Amino acid sequence: MGRRVLVIEDEPSIAEAIGFILARDGWEVQSHDRGAGALELIRAQRPDLVILDLMLPGRTGLDILRALRAEVETAALPVLMLTARNQSRDRELAESCGASRFMVKPFCNTEVLASVRELVAS
């Protein structure tokens, strides 16, 4: 089972909370706080899973997700999409772009952990 997660989230408190939850469960967690440079970081680090915010400075999470799905090396990479916007249109867009799972902030810690475990196990 993979144990490396890259969190791409521009809200420091959210990135820190996710990092704490996952690190406590034995995951190696790296984080990045903007859309710019995210693809390069994913390619370099080769995480087992990406937790990706929908709205990021520099490049949107949807743009990053589309690029990941277009590349052979990252097409099957599990991506948990996060957003503060709880609108069905956002969920539909994320799913059509290939998000493995979609979660709205604020989220439940146990839900994040369960989702990460499920996505990496499948």
Tens digit of each residue's pLDDT (9 = 90 or more) over 23-50: 999 999 999 999 999 999 999 999 999 9
CB count within 10 Å of CB 30 equals 13
**How many whole angstroms separate alpha carbon 55 and alpha carbon 117?**
24
Higher per-residue pLDDT: 7 or 87: 7
Q: Domain 4-121: which topology?
A: Rossmann fold (3.40.50)
Domain parsing of the chain, residue ranges: 4-121
Q: In angstroms, what CA-CA distances link 49 with 1, 78, 99? A: 11, 5, 11
Predicted confidence at residue 87, as pLDDT, reads 77
Predicted confidence at residue 2, as pLDDT, reads 60
